[in-house]
Structure 1
Amino acid sequence: MRLLHLLLFLLISCQLLWGQKNVKLKIHLEGIHKEVFNIHFYDGLVQDFIDASQKDTLMQLERLTYTPYPRILISYKGKYYNYLINKQTSTINIHYDSSKADFPFYSDQSEDITPIYDTVSSPIFRKLRSDLKTEYLQLTELWSKHGSEIRTNDSVKFVLRELTKEMNSKTMEVLTSYPNDFFSFLYFKEQVLIPTLSVEDDSEYYNNLLAYYNRTFPSEFRLTDEGKQIVKDMEQKITPVFIKEGEMMPDIYFKDIYGDTIFFKNQQESFVLLDFWASWCGPCLAQIPDIRLLRNTFSEDLLKIVGISIDSDSVSFLKSIKENEMSWVHSFDRGGILSGSLGFTSIPRIVLLDRNGKIVYYKHGGRIDMQKINAILRED
């Protein structure tokens, strides 16, 4: 009995430590037009869309989370509202009242939730907006004048990188004074790291960000799955994984929908084709007929096909497999967590491996080269 109690204590302690817990949420809607209402639940790793169209005025959710404070993100009539969920069992009352001209969309004041990017309720955010006012104006002007050139004009990209670093420096200086407030941790992730990931490839800079992260935020944030994913994102930039033809596939293994590990190397099949896709990805769906043709043309002894979906919604994932007659092995990489460790930030991607795990064909975006793949497979 004492051993049982100890095991239960350890289980509960681990759930609290790693931020994995079930959250129950009741959402009351009053005066809301559902055709212009969207709601997402963010569990610390993946953001899920919640279909409210079939619900009545009361929505009840239960979700597993990987963060001390999961989030609800709402859009209504073109405006966006973000809330931290403070308790494992929480209630949020959402109203729309057109007679309130200034703030027709509002939620009840409650200890269960906290508005995130709100200068009234968050003194940290208020200080950030004040201290970085000049930089925010510069960033707005840059996007207004040169937004269409951000990806193509090296001069514009340089200006954006330098401005991002300047904003990061000032932001982190502010956050250092509030390390134990979860808002600081969240702001570092969403307003420092995520924008930087898209504009900066300097490994030394990410080393500095990682050092700041480790010395600033407490373990109760860093040791959650959300916190560990932040570290993985920075480490991927510090020591990037490169997928190239002629190189060996990194030792990253996925599980199939039955929970069994999918091995890529030293297999009985001569080749393994990995298709990284999602049900919402138009180009991914467009090349499914080509993959289906490969499946029908070559024996399973010669070619093993593995679909790796980065969908966040398992229902859409399974529905798409059935509708598109994808009769091969499948893995559900929810939200692309493992795929991201390969450096994949977009799909579709096709990787063809030989029996030893060497990459013999790699395609990022666009339709696959069926002629080249056929030549590789028939050459064996």
Structure 2
Amino acid sequence: MKIRVNNTIDKNSLSFFVNDGQRPVAIHDSENNEIKLTGELAAEATTLTIRYKQAATIFLIGEQPASISLYYKNNDLNYGKPSNTLAVFDTIYNKYYRDIYRYRLPELQAYLNFWKGKDNDDFRNDSLFNINKRLVKNISLKALPILKKYSDKYYSFWFFYNQVTLPSLSILIHDTDYVRTLYNFLQKDLDKRFLKTEKGQMIASQLQGILHPATVMHAAPVLAIKDIYGNNISLNTTNKYLLLNFWASWCGPCIAEIPFYQSLQKEYPANKLDIVGINMDRNMSDCARTISEENITWIQVFDQDRKIRDSYGINTLPTTVLIDKGIIIYKSEGIDTSNIRALLNKKLL
């Protein structure tokens, strides 16, 4: 992608962030206020976020060479007509987003009017929270007919995940009908080539895991995974008990629970019990730092693509799962040390 800037922008102060499966980007400076970005696509398209001062804009780029001209005005990062790229939230040059925006404008206005004069503390009010859920659901579902209209465009797939599924599931995860609607839309209404991608399979697994989570007295999901050191491990072992601890470094209760797992590791023989931590951090460095600082010595898996979380239907951290001969015999959300210890004493001592 070629980026041209005028004298309103210091090109050395621009920053770039690439997402959605794109491998690292090389930045080539050139004369005449021009920057060239190169890299190898790992997906059909990827998003490029360009930041300057406090402003930012996001583009969707594919395999074709693309170009954009930037200028800074009124504390905002502006651009001319893009070539072979889409500004993802542009109602002028991006016809897909223009149609989505216009079609669901009444729902967007209702949402904005509802939150006018309110703040995040109002989420603690159950009635307001339920109204907010309904408004978010209306906005999300209103986008689907337009996405179906452009079902063969990567932008529709990108928007479905990043602007419909990802933001809405956090508050609508227990709305089974809504989740099933999203799952069916992905399976039936978007181009099948998107479902075959790594991202498509991840979304499908996430939605399916919510609809059909692994439950007590059912078989544990059979997953081929590696620990943080690259060793193959099984979460469906048959020769010993397996205790899974879903956690993250940013989760206060998870950190508070670490001494409990350290004590379990000392109390129960290794030939009878395996403890496996399933880490849900946003990046591996946070996971590794906490493992070192807290002296965590049991097996750890970095669940980068959320495959394990989705397969087990994990919505809360920490969550503990106990498996016996491939069958889930216990599952608990939050800190639950006394019940877990009592169950392990009954099974192992």
Alignment match, 1:31:
10
Q: Hey, what's the Cα distance between the residues in 1 that align with 2:336 and 2:141?
A: 43
Alignment match, 1:350:
320
Q: Are residues 1:226 and 2:196 paired?
A: no
Alignment match, 1:132:
104
Deviations for 1:123-143, whole angstroms, at most 9, x for unmatched residues? Answer: 221232223222111111223
Say which of 8, 19, 29 aligns to 1:42. Answer: 19
Q: Hey, what's the Cα distance between the residues in 2 that align with 1:318 and 1:151?
A: 34
Alignment match, 1:241:
213
TM-score (normalised: structure 2): 0.76
Matches within 5 A, 1:298-317: 298-317=268-287
Q: Are residues 1:199 and 2:172 paired?
A: yes
Larger RCO (CA within 8 A; separation ≥ 6): 1
Please state how far the C-alpha of 1:152 moved relative to its aligned partner.
4.8
Alignment match, 1:364:
333
Q: Hey, what's the Cα distance between the residues in 2 that align with 1:363 and 1:68?
A: 40
Alignment match, 1:276:
246
**3-state DSSP of counterpart to 2:321:** strand
Q: Are residues 1:255 and 2:226 paired?
A: yes
Aligned length: 333
Moved more, 307-316 or 323-332: 307-316
Deviations for 1:89-138, whole angstroms, at most 9, x for unmatched residues? Answer: 87889x7x7xx432553568764643211222212212322232221111
Q: Hey, what's the Cα distance between the residues in 2 that align with 1:123 and 1:372?
A: 56
Distance 1:298 1:150, change over 3 A: same
Alignment match, 1:72:
48
Alignment match, 1:4:
none
Percent identity between the two aligned chains? 24
Unaligned segments of structure 1, at least 5 residues? 1-24
**3-state DSSP of counterpart to 2:203:** helix
Equivalent pair of 2:23/2:39 in contact (CA under 8 Å): no
**3-state DSSP of counterpart to 1:287:** helix
Moved more, 225-234 or 198-207: 198-207
Q: Hey, what's the Cα distance between the residues in 2 that align with 1:211 and 1:355?
A: 34
Please, what is the CA RMSD of the aligned residues?
4.0
Q: Hey, what's the Cα distance between the residues in 2 that align with 1:320 and 1:27?
A: 39
Alignment match, 1:17:
none
- The amino acid across from 1:299 in the alignment is P
Say which of 284, 293, 297 aligns to 1:327. Answer: 297
Alignment match, 1:22:
none
Equivalent pair of 1:306/1:331 in contact (CA under 8 Å): yes
Distance 1:231 1:110, change over 3 A: same
Distance 1:346 1:74, change over 3 A: farther
Distance 1:79 1:240, change over 3 A: farther
Q: Hey, what's the Cα distance between the residues in 2 that align with 1:64 and 1:346?
A: 34
Deviations for 1:270-327, whole angstroms, at most 9, x for unmatched residues? Answer: x322121234434323322322232233331232111112234334433432333221
Moved more, 109-118 or 178-187: 109-118
Q: Hey, what's the Cα distance between the residues in 2 that align with 1:120 and 1:321?
A: 48
Deviations for 1:9-49, whole angstroms, at most 9, x for unmatched residues? Answer: xxxxxxxxxxxxxxxx8999973797xx87643225xx999
Say which of 154, 157, 160 aligns to 1:182. Answer: 154
Please state how far the C-alpha of 1:182 moved relative to its aligned partner.
1.9
